[in-house]
Amino acid sequence: MASVGGGSKDTLTLNLYPMLDIFSILIVFLLMSYSTDPVSHDVNSGLELPDSVTMVTLDELPAIVVTKSELFVNDKKVADVVNGEIPRAQLGESFQGAIRPVYDELKRIADANKRIVAATLNDPAQVGKTGALTMEMDKGHPFKLMKRIMLSAQQAEFVTFKLVVTRIEN
Amino acid sequence: MRRKRKGIKRQDVTDIELNIIPFIDVFSMLNTFLLFSAVFVATGIIEVQVPFLSNAPQPKEEGQRTLEVKVDAAKDKLQVITEYSKEPRNEQKFDFPNTKEGMDRMHERLVAIRQANPTQDKLSFFSEDDVIWESISAILDAAKFRKQTDPVFSFKNEKTGAMEQDQQFVFPKIIMGSVIL
């Protein structure tokens, strides 16, 4: 109010140092949380993860994402999900209950991985090694859907699954 | 020195103010960027395996009499089954309700089984089709992870002969048995 009316020549100076302190602390905190998490992954908005007491942190981005209504393999939509089921028409030429489009996509990835491993490793024993997949799935989906996806992946030589959950305190 | 100091003329005291506004601008931008890209939900993983048919030769342990531990999940019931791989099989079944209390009791039973058989680190998990993933993850939690109040499982490593401890897990290896059934 000091300068209002032009009568007084007093100027008010705002002390900005406390704000600077807060900013510094906030930046340090945010940068620290960046460096401690090996993988920073934003959960898909179309799904809710179940809670778990696991201490094992996420080490790679999910390859399979099953939202409430869609199924993605490496960000590519491969099937719809209706009431926790894959529509029969999209199952494809299914074998033992697997999902054909998921199998095809994973098989393509597995073959590409094998070619890369064969080109970089001299040990032929390592080439045929089975792979691991990270899977993120909505907590409301039934085991039947999970089983179908796991079976499709198993046929494509992925036998280890890292199931993504929300970490809570033990 | 003293002379020199004496010789210096005393000047008027002037306030030197550092212009911190650009500094604040940079901090604000950095804060905004970091807050937007920050992830506030801590995600973790539960590692499981599915059975895999292989042409590789059977391991030597196949000939030994080992304990097999299974967990069978239904919508309202959980069952722990223990059985030896060879005669006498001594099959035992323990039933629990599929509730929070039931899972706690199942966890205690599994801890007791692991304590009695510390070298046995594998558990087969079976589930009915209509059990939802939220319920399965809670069952896997109870079967796989050790609580702070649980005892530490010490066992002898067959390969190295050294004593080892399982600090984090009750059953570290979970096999999703129902996948190929």
Report the interhelical angle of B21-37 vs A17-36 (nearest 10°).
30
A11/A81 same-domain check:
no
- Indicate if A75 and A139 belong to the same structural domain: yes
Q: Measuring CA to CA, which residue among A62, A75, A91, A77 is closest to residue A152?
A: A91
Comparison of pLDDT for B148 and A169, the residue scoring more: B148
Q: How far apart are CA B19 and CA B22, in angstroms?
A: 7
Residue B152 · residue B166 · CB < 8 Å = yes
- What integer pLDDT is reported at residue A7 of this predicted model? 54
Would you say the ipTM is above 0.95? no
Please answer yes or no on whether B50 and A150 come within 8 Å at the CB atom.
yes
Residue A126: predicted pLDDT: 56
User: How does pLDDT run across B38-84, given as a tens digit for each residue?
Assistant: 777 788 899 999 987 666 655 555 567 888 999 999 999 999 999 98
Residue A45 lies in a domain: no
In this predicted structure, the answer to whether residue B157 has a pLDDT above a threshold of 90 is: no
User: Which range of residues forms the domain containing residue A13?
Assistant: 4-36
Same domain? For A97 and A133 the reply is yes
Query: Is A141 part of the contact surface with chain B (CB cutoff 8 Å)?
Result: yes
Chain A residues within 8 A of B133 when measuring between CB atoms: 50, 137-143, 146
Least confident of A72-76, B109-113, B151-155: B151-155
Q: Quick check: is A42 in a domain?
A: no
pLDDT for the residue numbered B111: 93
pTM here is 0.79
Task: Report the distance separating Cα B146 and Cα B152, nearest Å.
Answer: 8
A154: contact with B, CB 8 A cutoff: yes
Give the separation between CA B112 and CA B30, rounded to whole angstroms.
52
Cross-chain residue pair B42–A16, CB shorter than 8 Å = no
For A18-58, write each residue's pLDDT tens digit: 888 998 998 998 888 776 666 777 788 888 999 999 888 88
Q: Is the pLDDT of residue B143 over 60?
A: yes
Domain contains A133: yes
Q: Which of residues 81-110 of A touch B (CB under 8 A)?
A: 96
Asked if the model's pLDDT at residue A115 lies above 90, the reply is no
Residue A139 shares a structural domain with residue A104? yes
Its CATH class, for the domain covering B65-180, is alpha beta
Q: Which of A53-67, A127-141, B89-103 has the highest mean pLDDT?
A: B89-103
What single string gives the DSSP state of each residue in B101-163?
HHHHHHHHHHHHHHHH-TT--EEEEEE-TT-BHHHHHHHHHHHHBPPTTSPPEEEE-TTT--E
